[in-house]
A = this chain, B = another copy of it.
Amino acid sequence: MSTNNSTIVGGGLVGSLLACYLAKRGHQVDVYESRPDMRKAGYIGGRSINLALSVRGWTALEKIGLKGEIEKISIPMYGRMIHSVSGEKNFQQYGKEDEAIYSVSRGELNKRLVELADSYENVTFHFNELCEKVNFQDTSIDFFNFDRKEKHQVKADKIFGTDGAFSRVRSAFMALPRFNYSQNYIEHGYKELHIPANAQGEHQLEKNALHIWPRGSFMMIALPNIDGSFTCTMFVPFEGEDAFDDLATEKNVVDFFEKYFPDAIPLMPNYIEDFFRNPTSGLVTVRCNQWYQNNVCLLGDASHAIVPFFGQGMNAGFEDVRILDELMDAQNEQWSKVFPQFNMLRKPDTDAIAQMALDNFIEMRDLVADEHFLNKKRVEKLIMADESNQYLSLYSGVSFSNERYSEVYKKGLKQNELLEELVLIDDVDLKIKSEEIKKKIRQKINGG
């Protein structure tokens, strides 16, 4: 075992997974987390969106032997169940029959990852430690300890900032020369609601689906939990018509639900109470050009927070950890090479998923109920069904492959051009195996 020391700021999903990876490499790992130990204190809910683990996340978990453990607390969702205003349901399969994304509660997953990381004897967790300042010169961190109510300084060999979208480690980067940074909120906020299990402890809606109530400019979604409940999330604009600022009274909320989500009301006995108790939160995209400085490196949301509409925030963060691990292998842990390569390699990919996540919001809240969009999806399915086309849809590329996000995105633009062209052809479904159309596919997608 080497005498390598690593300090991780942020014991969330990415920080805990990184702790496992580094522990396995023999590092002495210290994880500092500002919240209390969630294994004792419980996870503070009310503002979380259920997570959807897909292939990238599983790949990172599997590499370190955690897949089986996490599978126990996750539920496969094989497609979207679209709920119309009149209560009709329409199932849209995501990929092949056995392809699914997996619903898992953030609190449960995080608890499990902390337990797994803490089971390594070379990992130590420090809770109630707020990072106040990171010093690049001597690789030190000023913490405020909430228990002892006092400041103290920690010297580190390397610091990994995995402290999320509002990263305090990242604050130290803000004043660096030529640090390009942006944080952008969309016009929508979100609010967590709840569909409990029925009296028999069973799911009240189809368990193996991600439920969507698309309403054009806004939507509600529901993801299953292992206790028979669903975690629902409403995404609604802050201001304007059908907006949070209009939903200030009980009457307005009831009217809103009766108008737009009538089939959900019987499933949600406490939705009014939930609505007024749970906070309304914003949705931010964070971009920065420089992820490391000296011996400090950012991972996950700290360097590339994205909106949740592709279910890829955690998956991208877990993929960060896997890629960093590969670079540690390739560069024999020479950090002066690992960090710049990690930054250079991952930045185009996280930029791409940031954009796809923004695009997917429009797809989820609006397009899934749009005829032209559904036509394109139908044609795409026919193309994918013919394996000789070697065609992987953007959704599948993101969710069911480990291909670079930036490549998936580039292909997706071309795929969309192709589909726009094909849906104009009369009886395209019947001609889909014709040489004429197969040639078009080859030319557009494979460049020849």
Contacts and interface: CB of A to CB of B under 8 A. Distances in A.
Interface of A: 166, 171, 174-175, 177-185, 238, 281-282
A426 B332 CA distance: 68
A180 B184 contact: yes
A238 B289 CA distance: 15
A171 B171 CA distance: 9
A174 to B, nearest CB: 8
A183 B180 CA distance: 5
A185 B175 contact: no
Which of the listed residues A171, A178, A184, A282 has the most CB atoms from chain B within 10 Å of its own CB? A178
Copies in the complex: 2
Nearest to A186: B178
A171 B183 CA distance: 13
Contact of A178 (B178, B181, B185): B185
17 contacts: A166-B175, A171-B174, A174-B183, A177-B185, A177-B282, A178-B185, A178-B238, A178-B282, A179-B183, A179-B185, A180-B182, A180-B183, A181-B181, A181-B182, A181-B183, A182-B183, A182-B184
Contacts of A183: 174, 179-182
Contacts of A184: 180, 182
Given A177-B282, A179-B183, 10 more contacts: A174-B183, A177-B281, A178-B185, A179-B185, A180-B182, A180-B185, A181-B183, A182-B182, A182-B183, A182-B184
A314 B282 CA distance: 34
Contacts of A281: 177
Closest 7 pairs between A and B when the two form their complex, measured CB to CB = A182-B182, A178-B185, A178-B282, A177-B282, A180-B184, A181-B183, A180-B185
A184 B183 CA distance: 12
Contacts of A177: 185, 281-282
A281 B176 CA distance: 11
A179 B171 CA distance: 15
Contacts of A182: 180-184
A166 B176 CA distance: 11
A2 B281 CA distance: 41
A184 B281 CA distance: 27
A181 B178 CA distance: 15
Contacts of A181: 181-183
Contacts of A185: 177-180
A166 B175 CA distance: 7
Contacts of A171: 174
Nearest to A182: B182
A130 to B, nearest CB: 13
Contacts of A238: 178
A352 B257 CA distance: 41
